[in-house]
Amino acid sequence: MTMRPKDFIAIRDRSAEDLLALLDEAVSIKADPGKYRRRLEGKSLALILEKPSLRTRVSFEVGIHQLGGYSLVLTPAEIKLGERESVRDVAKNLERMVDGIMIRTFRHEILLEMAEEASIPVINGLTDFCHPCQAMADYLTIREAKGRLEGIRVAYVGDGNNVAHSLIFGAVRFGVHLAVAHPPGYAPDAEVVRWAGENAAASGARVEIHEDPVAAVRDADVVYTDVWTSMGMEGEAERRKKAFRRYQVNDTLVSHARGDYVFMHCLPARRGEEVCDSVIDSPHSIVFRQAENRLHVQKAILLALMA
């Protein structure tokens, strides 16, 4: 499969057919990784990490290596995007030295400028607007656990943040029934919700936005949450703890889900805040399989863009 345009910026940029092909490729890679070990032989991937990273860095570094390529990590100490050097100049330098760029940054506009200026593929490793690689791994994990995506009921409880946005985009493309529950004032971006409303019918998806967590979780096949305070918002932590208190995923809340529900979290988790130990450590939890699947999905993305 060859993806066009050249970059992987947001799930909504891609057709359902392209996205499903990526998931299928990820399944094949996971089943037989040795078959792919030389597909990107000699190719280089620059990892621009403006935010701390465990899963994103490790999965991309290991992934490109397992495909036969190699990575170079660039932190703010090296480049200071927009300060020491403009985004355009960084892009124009890197396009002459490496074969692809993964960027994990704060402002989505930085990613868009990098993709516009660089002639090589640019992959969104996370911005404040969306987190597409995470959501692709999430939907791969749901399909593994439930055997399908169409009609699966997913409840996302928490902040209407970048993860929520990508889950919404994916739900629309894959025909998922997604219910988002958020405290007042923490809804997903209105433009994202509008886009979902305009496009959901094509796949049979349904996207609902609630302020009642019980309404979202009722009869859910999947219960998903994220931290209440994302990176860069630490100054809001105490205010957010108060606003999100009744949105904790605990035994009482998940009792409203289906008996065979699975629990998901993009990690890292703040145990005792958005989720309690008895849920994240329960037999229903698939959070570490979800984390592993970042590796397989991202290898499929790398192959699609750089092979």
What percent of the chain clears pLDDT 90, i.e. is strictly above it?
Answer: 93
pLDDT at 124: 98
Burial class (CB in 10 A: 0-12, 13-18, 19+), 144: middle
pLDDT at 2: 47
Instruction: Tell me if 11-130+293-306 shares its fold with 132-290.
Output: yes
CATH 3.30.70.20 fits 11-130+293-306, yes or no: no
**Alpha-helical runs (H) found in the chain:** 16-31, 55-66, 87-94, 108-117, 132-146, 162-174, 190-199, 213-217, 237-243, 251-254, 277-280, 287-306
pLDDT at 94: 97
How far from each other are the two terminal CA atoms of the chain, in whole angstroms? 10
pLDDT at 4: 54
Q: Where are the domains of the chain?
A: 11-130+293-306, 132-290
Known catalytic residues are: 104, 131, 134, 226, 266, 294
pTM: 0.96
Beta-ladder partners of 123: 8, 102
pLDDT at 234: 86
For domain 132-290, the CATH class is alpha beta
Low-confidence ranges of the chain (pLDDT < 70): 1-4
Query: Alpha-carbon distance 102 to 62, whole Å?
Result: 13
